[in-house]
Each structure stands twice: as structure tokens, then as C-alpha cells.
Amino acid sequence: MKLWQKNTESLHEVEQFTVGRDLEFDLQLAPFDVLGSIAHATMLAEVKLLTKEEAAQIMKELKNIYSSIHNSQFAIDNGVEDIHSQVEFMLTQKLGDVGKKIHSARSRNDQVLVDIKLFLRSELEELVKTIQVFFELLQSQSDKYRDHLLPGYTHLQLAMPSSFGLWFGAYAESLVDDVVTLKAAYDVVNKNPLGSAAGYGSSFPIDRTLTTKLLGFDNLNYNVVYAQMSRGKTERIVAMALANVADTLAKLSMDACLYLNQNFDFISFPAELTTGSSIMPHKKNPDVFELIRSHCNRIKSLPNEIMLMTTNLPSGYHRDLQLLKEHLFPAFHVLKDCIEMAGLMLSNIEIKKDILKDDKYKYIFTVDEVNKLVMQGIPFRDAYKLVAQKVEDGSFTPPLLEKVGRGPHEGSIGNLSNGEIKKQMQKIVESFPFAIVHAATSSLLK
């Protein structure tokens, strides 16, 4: 059943193909469709396209529908095309002709646009909160293991001394930059497309500034053609921000897989957090990190996937855009699961002590030896050659671990700068207007 149905019905196969999995993802949009409709009805009353009595009836019923969604009592009926139609049918069933007035001055195009933006805004907030918890764990572990030295590598060859404090702290700071990109995506999302109708505006005297305020948006997508064009672009920008977080997790997971390997033997986990082999009794496999790595690598492909799905689309609406939900919406859940599982693993990590006492790591201290000679007044290039010669002839002797320079500069082994990194995270998180959005939602639902 379609609200826009004329006298000709679509062939069943055509309808089935074009609807696809839309209803599945429309259920995730349900609360946001209702919020958008409440704001729209409020605006229609302000510009006299609804009477105050009609608006009051519509908003009361919309709030009832909103409650049914949150109580898991809402469903899209068989034969109903989408969430927008379901909400309008429910209004019409309760209110008759008054319910039919809700669609004045809007199109399903701007309706789905505002639903998606409200959904993305909510999901981005939940993701930022999940990242905050993981960030705090990484910082805590960085402080806890600041004095546990670890080999540093370049080209997967021994390079210089590192530490678990640096390792944990590096991923914490990586998340800061990831949240910066999430904020940029949030800013793009947080603009109101409602009122652009089918992409060319409306001849009704609507007040788009009012719906912007009611829905807690920071601003408008002013140009109605661009409001429609922003679909696809918005999803791609959000996907790129998710991919940045996924890249941090994938790299961390690869490190964990290497460090757990017996040839590295830097870390271990309780047996219940690893998996075994059907024939090898000794195995403790890092399946969690391997799956995090794979899930996150798939998310990293998402921006390119969306880019290709929207390639060569001219301005205006096209049904191609429907498929973006199938690719983007699940990515939030998967990414949050990956973060939480990484948190579970790293909360229970066991760090091996005195790793660098093993003689195979002795050449990791050559740079410290060069620097010691430089501090004695020998030019760097000469000091480099002296130490290189000792390495070549086998006479190089590593310094005692307790005498290894820990580096006083910011961000070094001896000065992790975790406090400064924490301030950066606090600053970017506080720049999100979550409180404004919550206040607007609460006001709509009064």
C-alpha cells in the first residue's frame, strides 16, 4: 500500500526489488521520523497551515507513537511501503482527515533526509561516548606500564627502545584525532534539510528556521537543491570518520596479534579470552583481535563503497541512495562492538617484564650509545661511525637498562604527556553540542 498510489500498481517483482531491505532499516529511523514530524507539525501550526487544535491532536498522537517505538510495540504493517507511510497511516487511522494534513509542505525526500541526519547525529554521539571509555582505559594502562620497556621497530626490524606506556598512549592520542574527524562529520550532519521538499522547495510559507531550532540543528542546509545533494555526501563523510576509528583499532589489533606470537612474546591474555585448536593442545589464538582487524578493515572500505555507489549521479534524488543505509547503518554497531571487545582484551592484558634484557635486543641501544658520545662532545656523524664499527666487529656492548636515557622531551618514554593528551580529548568532546540536541528533543516530547 502506498500513500502516493495512483490507478496503476507496480508489478510485484518490481515492488519487491525496489523496496529491498528498506523496511528493516526504516525501523531504526522510526523515532527520528516521529521527531521530525512533531517539529513539522509545530511549524505548520505557526504558519497557519494547521489550526492549533489540529496540531495539538497530531502531536499528541505522534508522542503516543514515539512511546510505542521505545516500548518495542511498534511495527511497520504488511503492505506499508516505509516508515513515513506507517506513521501517516497511524495518524490517519486515529485522526481521520486531520492526520492526512501532516504531509503538507514536505516530501518523502526531505523526510528521509531529516530522519537520516537525526539518526546519524544520535549514532555519532553514542560512538563518541564509547570511544571516551576506551580512551580512558588506554591512558590508564599507559600510566600503569610506563616503566615497562618494549622493542620499537621500523620496517619490522629492531629500531629503538619503546615502552608499553608509549604503546598504549599512542593509540589513545590516535583516538583524539579520530574524534576530531567525527566532530567534522557531526558538523556536516547537524544541518537541517527539512523544507527542501522534493529538492526544489515549497510554495507554502514554511518556516525552516523554526524547524531547525525545534530539532536542535546547528544550522540549515539553505539551498534546497544542495539539501537533496547532501544525501550520499553526508554518508560518505560520516563513513570516512568511522574508517579513521577503524584504522586505529585495526593497527592496534595487528600489534596485539604480533606481540602475542611466541617469537615476540611480549604480552599474554587469560585463557578464557583466547581460543584453542582442534588438534594442537598448546594454542592460544588471538581470535578477538583478528576479528576486530577484519571488521575494521571492512569498515575502512566503506567510504570508497559509498563513493562508488554515488558516482556519476546528477543533482536531484535517485533510488541508488536507498542502498547506502544497508552499508552505513550496521557499521556503527560493528565498530562499537569492536571498541568494547578491544577494551575487554586490554583490560585483562598481561605484560611481560624485562623484555629488553634478552641479548637479541642489544642493538636496540645503539642510538643511546651514539647520543652518549655526542653529549661528550663528539660530532654526531663521527659518533655514528664509531658505534657502527663496534656493531660490525661484534664489540658493541649495550648499556645497563637502568642507565638507558628515558627522554625528557614531551611524548617520550620518560615524559608521556598523557595529561596534555587527555586535555585535547576533553576539549574536542566538549565541542559537540550534545546538550543542545538533548534539550531540543526533550522540548519536542513535552
Residues of the chain with CATH 1.10.275.10: 12-103
Sign of CA dihedral 6, 12, 13, 19: positive
Whole-number pLDDT of residue 11: 73
Q: How far apart are CA 307 and CA 377, in angstroms?
A: 57
Separation between Cα atoms, residue 442 and residue 209, nearest integer Å? 19
**Owner of C-alpha cell 576539549:** 427
b/e string for 95-105 if b means 16 or more Cβ within 10 A?
beebbebbbeb
Q: pLDDT per position in the chain (446 positions), as tens? A: 455 455 556 577 776 676 667 777 889 999 999 999 999 999 999 999 999 999 999 999 999 999 999 999 999 888 888 889 999 999 999 999 999 999 999 999 999 999 999 999 999 999 999 999 999 999 999 999 999 999 999 999 999 999 999 999 999 999 999 999 999 999 999 999 999 999 999 999 999 999 999 999 999 999 999 999 999 999 999 999 999 999 999 999 999 999 999 999 999 999 999 887 678 878 788 999 999 999 999 999 999 999 999 999 999 888 888 899 999 999 999 999 999 999 999 999 999 999 999 999 999 999 989 999 999 999 999 999 999 999 999 999 887 766 665 678 899 998 999 999 999 999 999 999 999 999 999 999 98
d(CA 364, CA 352): 18
Distance CA 39, CA 386 (A): 75
What spatial distance separates the first Cα and last Cα of the chain, rounded to whole Å? Answer: 32
Enter the C-alpha cell of residue 348: 585483562
The reported pLDDT for the residue numbered 439 is 98
Using CA atoms, how far residue 397 sits from 85, 285, 386, 387, in Å, is: 77, 36, 13, 10
Q: What is the reported pLDDT for 8?
A: 57
- The whole-number pLDDT of residue 404 equals 63
| CA distance linking residue 340 with residue 358, whole number of Å | 34
The domain defined by 123-203+222-357 folds into Fumarase C; Chain A, domain 2 (1.20.200)
> Minimal CA–CA distance to 320: which of 232, 189, 238, 226?
232
Contact 363, 391 (CB under 8 A): yes
Give yes or no for a contact between 172 and 418, defined as CB atoms under 8 angstroms apart.
yes
The angle at the Cα of 335, spanning 329 to 341, to the nearest 5 degrees, equals: 145
Rounded distance between C-alpha atoms, residue 55 and residue 77, angstroms = 25
Question: How far is the C-alpha of 85 from the C-alpha of 64, rounded, in Å?
Answer: 17
- Residue 4 confidence (pLDDT): 47
Cβ atoms 339, 249 nearer than 8 A: yes
- The CATH 1.20.200.10 portion of the chain extends over 123-203+222-357
Distance, CA of 147 to CA of 165 (rounded, Å): 7
Q: Which CATH architecture has domain 12-103?
A: Orthogonal Bundle (1.10)
Phi and psi of 193, rounded to 5°? -95, -10
Q: Which of 235, 23, 225 is nearest to 119 (CA)?
A: 235
At residue 428, the pLDDT reads 98
Check residue 20 and give its pLDDT.
Answer: 64
The total number of residues shown for the chain amounts to 446
The dihedrals phi and psi of 163, each to the nearest 5 degrees, come to: -155, 160
